[in-house]
Amino acid sequence: MDRAAAERNGPQAHTGGWLVEVRAAVEGVRESSGADIVALYPYDEDSDSFYAPLVTGLPEEDVGHALPDLSDQLRRFRADEAEGKVPPDLSVASYGPSAWLLTTRRTLVSTDPRTEVGSSFVRRHRVQAMVGLPLVVGKNLIGLLYLDYVERPGGHDQIDVSSAAYVQKVEHAASELALAIDASRQAEETRILRDVGALVGRVAELPAGPEDPEASSQRIDDVLRRVLAASGLGCVALYLLDPGGGRLRLVAAKGCPLLSSRAASIPAGGLTEAHHDERLAEALAEHGLRPVATFVPRGQSRSAVMVVADRDLLALERRLPAHHILLQSAADLLGGMVNAEHLLDVLGETNRALGAVTRLSVRLLQPGVTQRETLGTAVTLLTDPSLPELDFQFADIFLLESTPDGRLAARESAGAAASHHIQGIPDEAGTGRRVPTWAGPGYRILDPDDVVAYVARIRRTVVVAAQAAEEENFVTGYPEDLLVRKQVQILGKDGAVQGAVRVARLRESADRAPLSADEASGIYEITDDFTLNAELFDAYEHASLVRVFVPFGSDTTGVHAAGVLEAGFHISERCRLERVQIEALRACSATIAAAVETARLYEDVTLRARHLEIVNEVSRAITTSIDLEQTLSMISGRMARALDTSTCLIALLEEDGSAWYGAASSEMEDVWQRRRVERPQPSIVFEVVDRGRPLAIEDAENHPLVSAQMVRTLGIRSLIALPLMTSDGPLGAVILGQRDQLRLFTEEEVERATGLADQAALAIRNARLHAREEEEHHIQKDVVLVGFGQWGQKAYAHLELLKNFFNFRTHIVELEWPGRREALAEAERRVVSNGDLFYWDAPDSFAPAYDALARELETSCYVITYICTPAESHLPMLKAYYEMSNVVLIEKPLGAPPEAYREFLDTTDGSVQIVAADHYWFKLEIRLLEQLLNEERNLRAFLEEIEEVEIAILEEQPPGGSGAQIGMIADLIPHAFAIVSLLTPLDKLTLAPDHPLQIGRYQPLSSEYETYARLRGSFDYHGRTVGVTIDIGKGVTNAKWIKLSGERRKGGRRAFYKFDFGKGEAIDGTQSTLRAAMRPIRQPGVPDNAHLNMLRHVMEKKNPAVGILSIHEAIRANARIQTLEKMAAELTAAGEWTPYEQGQHPAFPTEEPVPVLVAAGETS
């Protein structure tokens, strides 16, 4: 980009296409949220810093000023965090909203930001409401998003940011924005890493070796020009520390010609602060540039710095962190070039060594090679007879790294043995060369006293004499004062000294001393700096070798050398090493260090680019399809490829999370799709879904969460399971399995897979929504309504309303009892006029109108059968209509024992969804209570303190109708269980040991069954026992509520939370020192459409039988109900019941006080 274009495009002109995509996504968030100001601060976890901010609704410069403030807040927070000073109840005001969001990763909603946040930004821009959202992909936080709403004249049209619907909407938008940012960043990082790779390749292609100053300058100019083009900055300059160490001398610069005359030499000071020099800043200002940063090459013995400048002072803050990698890599390469040339210059004492190193450099520094290939080439050249100055009989290279416990390990090694006197093995790579036995491949932890570890730590060259030669002058050419002579012990396993070997360590300035012709000798002091292992020393015949160990490079921390080079001879060839050979080897070590670093950069860039290309390919593939089956197939196939695993399995949850089923697999899909697991059976799918975090398992066969069937059938030995999470909740899990061998998944692989799983979850959710819309718009359903009594007619009224939204036809079946046809004549005409069908059949028919229906529904693709007949006919009707239905809906599985239902279900193939529905579960208040129990912080916290749950479902109307015929336990207890199921599984409910059930009978007696019942029990909640009292009945007062009560406190009211379904209000009395707060939960005039909602649920859901609606769950509840019915019958027969009259509660006898059950009054 030329300078004019840069000026036109502004400070963000070179931040890449990712910025355009992200800005468009941010604009979309602003439009959907209605926010006046939207500010995005991308975050990099590796550097713990923010970068490249974006804002809409404010001038661009305002956000640039915000970055230093954010950085200061974060630094202050991290400093206090490291010292343990952060308060446990971290608030927004403690360190600012950004630190709070980074720590909690929860949505911040403030309707009074001036008080709660208190920043100058809020006051300056008159922000009236603020929402902060953490942007998370997988387990990685990638940014913060702020939505600000400013004061509007008159306070009109202000958005309610605290409403649940608004928060859900913006959290969904934030989730999609996070995925967009992550995908765009990955694509941009791929481009940057390619630039790094191109730069590394270009440096490797440049000629190496001694050149005239002009040629050397041209090489550096070429690299600087490429750095400037790749980074898009205004200027880049390379400075080198002079021999005195006091000043930095300009080597070359691009983008600012004035530097060569105005800032050719600047004070050294702190190397990282070179860009703050006044003369440098003045020269840059002449070109409209400002110094931005200084980059110091890593692991270089000479001090060089690269200074960058731009028109925008925040140029680096506005760019991706990958740009820092580009610039740091450039500084490393430039430093390596300067360092290698320096080492070559100081070898003027011998042209032979200089020529040898030049030839080695030319052959070693090749583009596009790996570290292992580089090491192999290096040891081959060091033992190559065509390079007589370096013609060693053996050479080894060890690349080192630190272990977690602080020791050193050889992570990579290579060697070459050119003489049969050297113990060797064939090279596993098939190169034909022999490798010294002690330098074979493999990862090895070094003993702290090992000579290689010693040389790496002190970073000095060490020469080890051949013990068998008894050569006094085993190293020649160095003045005696530049050698440190030691005698190193050879130790056995038991620590016994078995001999000693003489060594000489070169001092730091040994390479700068004049060549000494005298044969030096000196006193050898015994040292324990390092020792030699007697077993290895004898096994490898090291007593007959003269060896030199040369350190090279530096690790990222600067604690030890990056590697050690070993070379030498057998005493049959020579017994001493000359200075020319050692210094040539030291010069070669610098070239090897540069070559290894170049190869490492190439490997990193290639691997990262390959991974990003796969990720981008997978992302495109799984987000382009809206067909659910095709989407699942794409995800399973491409995720296995992205992580190079044997198989990918996708498990999806039932909608209530009570079970999961195999949905798709990259292999053996028919086997996997037959898998289904219900809670509470342990499963890795439930584990990762509940934790919301991935889980990697190296040994699947012996892990308790992995089923033996999965291991046996699918042959999986190692796996990683990842949750499929969306803003609407978990969808299921992805399991990536390895078959052929045990595999330990790396943290980078887990993060990469997590990002893919997040995109996959979004794609599955969108595909599901599309499938549902397609199904509802294009698939015609048929609803069979069996029975047209009170419930049947009520259901038909709801079905008429649902026809406005769904495509279906209703078939009504009714028994032709005497006079029934006449009574329903008008209703029948209305049904037919609506385009629906009405069937009559004789009462003695085994199934009403079955044959006629079978013919009519022969071409139907989806049939819902709703059984509205009396309870005793439910099971016969279920058996009759099962084969012609896709879904069968019954009110409750009553009228037959649970064993009878189970016996029938065991004979079916499970292909028909049986919904044992309780419309009470669909009451608006029940759904709202479920949401509050999951989302409201005060109520969630209060749940940890509750000691008692009270439920009342009472009606003022006298007992009558079907309720009087079956009793209140069968009629109303299922509704109470629907409420209890929000707090605990029903099978966890334990009856009280004393008086678990008490019954009352309405006076005068009108039914042989109980008309009032009180049930007492308890359940375990997080290790605490919570009591339960349920009152149900008719002929008393209208009361439908649930009350959660905490512990009793002396001198204060018992804390409670009450949800009144009848009055449509919630009473929050959790703060015992404050007056209870009351708020409406259903506004006056809003009808109770629970029955309609139940039918809509069955109509629109592909798998509607979930949770309490599952036939299996209903049977379990029914078994409990039948137990209670039997207890009630025994109490009735024994006369142990309490009479009561209209409007009164039974006065049950009890040994302990029973809480008074009232409809209201807790607000005082």
d(CA 555, CA 561) in angstroms, rounded, equals 6
Among 779, 768, 778, smallest CA distance to 630 is for 768
3-class secondary structure, 886: coil
pLDDT for residue 367: 60
Out of 43-57, 343-357, 401-415, which region has the weakest mean confidence (pLDDT)?
Answer: 343-357
pLDDT for residue 349: 42
What are the strands, taking DSSP E only, across 1022-1147?
Answer: 1024-1034, 1039-1045, 1056-1060, 1065-1069, 1077-1080, 1138-1140
pLDDT tens-digit readout, 732-770: 999 999 887 788 888 878 888 888 888 888 888 877 776
d(CA 91, CA 570) in angstroms, rounded, equals 71
d(CA 236, CA 1066) in angstroms, rounded, equals 66
pLDDT for residue 1084: 61
Among 16, 59, 563, 611, smallest CA distance to 321 is for 16
d(CA 239, CA 259) in angstroms, rounded, equals 11
Categorize the per-residue pLDDT at 840 as very low, low, confident or very high, splitting at 50, 70 and 90: confident
User: Once rounded to an integer, what is the mean pLDDT over residues 589-597?
Assistant: 81
Whole-structure pTM value:
0.41
| Residue 273 pLDDT greater than 60, yes or no | yes
pLDDT for residue 1159: 33
Cα-based distances in Å from 531 to 505, 537, 577: 14, 11, 21
Name the token pair of 472: 């006094």
Among 301, 267, 376, 746, smallest CA distance to 596 is for 376
| Residue 6 pLDDT greater than 50, yes or no | no
pLDDT tens-digit readout, 183-211: 788 777 777 767 776 776 666 555 544 44
Categorize the per-residue pLDDT at 443 as very low, low, confident or very high, splitting at 50, 70 and 90: confident
| Residue 1035 pLDDT greater than 60, yes or no | yes
Categorize the per-residue pLDDT at 245 as very low, low, confident or very high, splitting at 50, 70 and 90: low
Task: Point out which residues pair with 569 in neighbouring strands.
Answer: 546
3-class secondary structure, 161: coil
What are the strands, taking DSSP E only, across 268-336?
Answer: 290-295, 304-310
The answer to whether the peptide bond before residue 680 is cis (omega within 30 degrees of 0) is yes
pLDDT for residue 949: 93
The enclosing H or E element of 96 equals: none
User: Once rounded to an integer, what is the mean pLDDT over residues 492-503?
Assistant: 90
Cα-based distances in Å from 1082 to 650, 1044, 1062: 40, 20, 10
Alpha helices in 206-247 (DSSP H): 213-231
Among 187, 196, 258, smallest CA distance to 227 is for 196
d(CA 69, CA 95) in angstroms, rounded, equals 11
| Residue 600 pLDDT greater than 60, yes or no | yes
| Residue 1075 pLDDT greater than 80, yes or no | no
Alpha helices in 1022-1066 (DSSP H): none
pLDDT for residue 894: 63
Cα-based distances in Å from 806 to 150, 803, 886, 1094, 1102: 42, 5, 17, 14, 14
Long-range CB pairs of 228-232 (<8 Å, 24+ gap) are: 228/254, 228/255, 230/192, 230/195, 230/196, 230/198, 230/199, 230/326, 231/14, 231/308, 231/323, 231/326, 231/327, 231/330, 232/1, 232/6, 232/13, 232/14
The enclosing H or E element of 396 equals: strand 394-402
Say which amino acid occupies 435.
Answer: V
Which range has the top average pLDDT, 585-594, 977-986, 1018-1027?
1018-1027
pLDDT for residue 337: 75
| Residue 869 pLDDT greater than 50, yes or no | yes
The enclosing H or E element of 384 equals: none
Say which amino acid occupies 814.
Answer: E
**1000 and 1140 in contact (C-beta within 8 Å)?**
yes
d(CA 364, CA 376) in angstroms, rounded, equals 10
Query: Rounded to 5 degrees, what are φ and ψ at 104?
Result: -85, -30
d(CA 716, CA 701) in angstroms, rounded, equals 8
| Residue 928 pLDDT greater than 50, yes or no | yes
d(CA 47, CA 26) in angstroms, rounded, equals 24
d(CA 712, CA 698) in angstroms, rounded, equals 16
Strand pairing report for 304-310 and 235-241: antiparallel
Per the model's pLDDT, the better-predicted residue between 1145 and 601 turns out to be: 1145
Categorize the per-residue pLDDT at 1157 as very low, low, confident or very high, splitting at 50, 70 and 90: very low
Which range has the top average pLDDT, 237-246, 824-833, 1108-1117?
824-833
Task: Point out which residues pair with 527 in neighbouring strands.
Answer: 488
Categorize the per-residue pLDDT at 1160 as very low, low, confident or very high, splitting at 50, 70 and 90: very low
pLDDT for residue 465: 92
User: Once rounded to an integer, what is the mean pLDDT over residues 485-500?
Assistant: 90
Q: Which residues contact 874 (CB under 8 A, 6 or more apart)?
A: 867, 890, 891, 892, 893, 894, 895, 896
Strand pairing report for 563-570 and 394-402: antiparallel
d(CA 454, CA 446) in angstroms, rounded, equals 10
Query: Rounded to 5 degrees, what are φ and ψ at 1041?
Result: -160, 165
DSSP 403-469: -TTS-EEEEEEEEEE-STTS-EEE-TT--S-EEEGGG-SS-EEPPTT-HHHHHHHHT--EEE--TTT
The average confidence (pLDDT) of the chain is 79
Among 667, 659, 640, 662, smallest CA distance to 651 is for 662
pLDDT for residue 348: 43
Q: Which residues contact 375 (CB under 8 A, 6 or more apart)?
A: 397, 399, 412, 413, 414, 596
Look up tokens 């390079």; give the residue. 387
Query: Rounded to 5 degrees, what are φ and ψ at 696?
Result: -100, 130
Q: Residue 850: which region, alpha, beta or left (left: phi > 0; alpha: psi -120 to 50)?
A: alpha
d(CA 94, CA 77) in angstroms, rounded, equals 9
| Residue 312 pLDDT greater than 50, yes or no | yes
Categorize the per-residue pLDDT at 1134 as very low, low, confident or very high, splitting at 50, 70 and 90: very high
Domains of the chain: 3-190 (3.30.450.40), 206-345 (3.30.450.40), 351-594 (3.30.450.40), 625-776 (3.30.450.40), 779-890 (3.40.50.720), 920-1140 (3.30.360.10)
Per the model's pLDDT, the better-predicted residue between 821 and 369 turns out to be: 821
Out of 66-75, 295-304, 414-423, which region has the weakest mean confidence (pLDDT)?
Answer: 295-304
pLDDT for residue 1153: 36
Look up tokens 């909407």; give the residue. 169
Sign of the four-CA dihedral 250, 252, 255, 256:
positive
| Residue 60 pLDDT greater than 80, yes or no | no
pLDDT for residue 1073: 53
Out of 497-501, 693-697, 1043-1047, 1103-1107, which region has the weakest mean confidence (pLDDT)?
Answer: 1103-1107
| Residue 454 pLDDT greater than 90, yes or no | yes
pLDDT for residue 13: 41
